[in-house]
Chains A and B, each alone.
Chain A
Amino acid sequence: MIRALGLTRIHRHGGATVTALDGLDLTVARGEFVALMGPSGSGKSTLLQLLGCLDTPSAGGYWLDGTAVAGLDEPALARVRNRRIGFVFQASHFVDYLDLADNVALPGLYGPGPGPGRRRALALLDAVGLGERCDHLPAALSGGERQRAAIARALFNGPDLILADEPTGNLDAANAAQVLDLLASLNARGLTLVMVTHDPGVARRAGRVLHLAAGRLAPAPGAAR
């Protein structure tokens, strides 16, 4: 599903350069549940952004399901993000003036042709237990509800890869468990899941845990495995 070779991302801030990823190799098989761990600044988020085609690597290659992403132009990258990938962000961004159903249907807006739109959004919201909140504005929702809605949105165009950036980072234990169960159930249905997390307890749900340090894969600190 995912194959990355020598993936490198160098950020330039004025004159200074920061190497966020330094020649990382990574392979994720279809249907896997991979957790990415590591200290702040280790490159987890950068890696997730590269895998999600939000950003392009400074060097190295990335193949998504056999497609060389480096060779794609901007509209093609947008299409990949739209059809193949679902994002769940830590801050669970929403368009603040659209109600929940329209927010969930947002990927459909940029999708192929006029799709099922709100009807599918309502079904997805039902599936994450937010059916009766479909006409609320995002600001009216709790953190846990927002993350569940974000998952519903990630599923809208039927992607085969879900990328989650600390989806439980801002949640209390009960809500975090609910969101995690939801993600795990998606993985059980065959979706590939890559999740950045700080929480070893959360990472334990994953099939495989990768540790990053200074932009490279590193052995697990201590005796985690």
Chain B
Amino acid sequence: MNLRPPALLVAALQLWRKRRLQALLSTLGIAAGVAGLVLAAALGEGARREMEAALGGLGAGTLVVRHRSDAGGEPLTTVHQRRIVRLLGRELEGLAPLTASTLPVRGADARLDAVRVLATDRHYAALVPLPLRAGRFLADRDVAAGERVCVLGWELGRRLFPRGQVVGEPLSIAGEWFRVVGWLQPGALRLPGLGTLGLGGADQSLYVPLGALGYPGDGELDELLVRLHRGEALQPAMAAVRRVLAAGPGGKGVAAELIVPVEVLRQKHRLQRLFRSALLGVAGLMLAVGGIGIMNVMMVSVSARRAEIGLRRAVGATRRHILVQFLTESLVIAVAGGLAGIALGWGLALAVDLASPWTLAFSPGAALLGFAVSALAGVLFGTYPALRAAALSPVAALNDP
């Protein structure tokens, strides 16, 4: 085949010159379809990444025991913590206690009125991914000796110490002096709202040794972060935890919520999946509409250019040359729509990501899929008109007015 690409493109662009509106409408159909496809793919990819982050960072066997202070039960205490550790035995990979308070904090040049202060121990850093930018996390001796040290989230460190020197600096929490021993990397623990204290928001958090601020009561805790070796052990472990909580020393039992982060995410993604299916349906419909539009505009183009086809055949074009010429034409319309659709879908994904609690992620695979689908539509819906053009006999095409 000697038909060279520039010549093919010159021929293919005729449709834009002669039947701009029809071509544009078909292109819009394809663009809308591809945009829907890209958006659906971004939804899926976002959900997948969210899940992966949760699973990769926390593991499938992560369980959060969140004390409900408003329910009027007994407090959750270190006594419960010890019982749970004993009961779970070898299944337990790790367990971290947490208490949370919102306190005013003063740094070198800045003062913040309400900072989330989490009191915990070294196990916390082993259970959730907390990469350090500088310094270290809390250690056993900090808790045992009641050291006045703390670890800062990225954002907090930046705001309290704008000059950049964070680790080693003094800082006041509710009037008590602490020394900064660690500073976290940006973006640590950026999990979407799971309804827990210990999971999420590391950028804005300040970590101190358990007990350094004094317990609210005698060894009272707000949350226990539990990690099992195996996800399958979750159900029996939850039952065991419930037993421990119910059999408190006071007889009333501890009111607590058991949160499984992976389950929370799965629930959240259920609505997303539904939305995605609907989106895919609409996208398919738009693609079909655009494709039929392309077919129509191509049929018109072929019959309007019979003389051109006859002439090209007379000077040596084979049926295949004609086929390729008209297929290129429909491909150009469809792929133009596809590229516009990829851009549109990407923009929409970005907007939805920003404006909704859902996480969307644009992947190169989605762009590739959009491109492939539009090209496929161009070939699929362009084949019949192109075959019609190629089937014209040169004599019949030439003799036509």
Contact = CB atoms under 8 A, between A and B. Distances in A.
B318 interface: yes
Contacts, number: 73
Contacts of A75: 318, 320
A183 B180 CA distance: 98
A78 B311 contact: no
A107 B7 CA distance: 12
A89 B307 CA distance: 12
Contacts of A94: 311
Interface in A137-190: 153, 157
Contacts of A113: 2
A55 B10 CA distance: 29
B394 interface: yes
Nearest to A97: B14
Contact of B2 (A49, A93, A110): A110
A112 interface: yes
Contact of B307 (A74, A78, A83, A93): A93
A111 B394 CA distance: 18
Interface string B310-334: 1111111111110000000000000
A102 B311 CA distance: 14
Interface in A70-125: 74-75, 78-79, 81-83, 87, 89, 93-98, 102, 106-107, 109-114
Contacts of A55: 393-395
Contacts of B82: none
Interface size class for chain A?
A: 20 to 34
B163 interface: no
A87 B314 contact: yes
B144 interface: no
Contacts of B90: none
A74 B398 CA distance: 17
B314 A54 contact: yes
B86 interface: no
A133 to B, nearest CB: 19
A138 B64 CA distance: 79
A110 B315 contact: yes
B174 interface: no
B316 A83 contact: yes
Given A93-B307, A93-B311, A98-B10, A110 B395 contact: no
Interface in A30-70: 49, 52, 54-55
Given A54-B394, A75-B320, A112 B2 contact: yes
B395 A153 contact: no
Given A75-B318, A111-B316, 12 more contacts: A55-B394, A74-B318, A82-B315, A89-B398, A93-B314, A97-B17, A102-B10, A106-B311, A107-B316, A109-B7, A112-B2, A157-B316
28 contacts: A49-B395, A52-B314, A54-B398, A55-B395, A75-B318, A78-B316, A78-B318, A78-B321, A81-B314, A81-B316, A82-B315, A82-B316, A87-B314, A87-B315, A89-B398, A93-B308, A96-B308, A97-B17, A106-B311, A106-B312, A109-B3, A109-B4, A109-B317, A110-B2, A110-B315, A110-B316, A114-B4, A157-B316
Interface of A: 49, 52, 54-55, 74-75, 78-79, 81-83, 87, 89, 93-98, 102, 106-107, 109-114, 153, 157
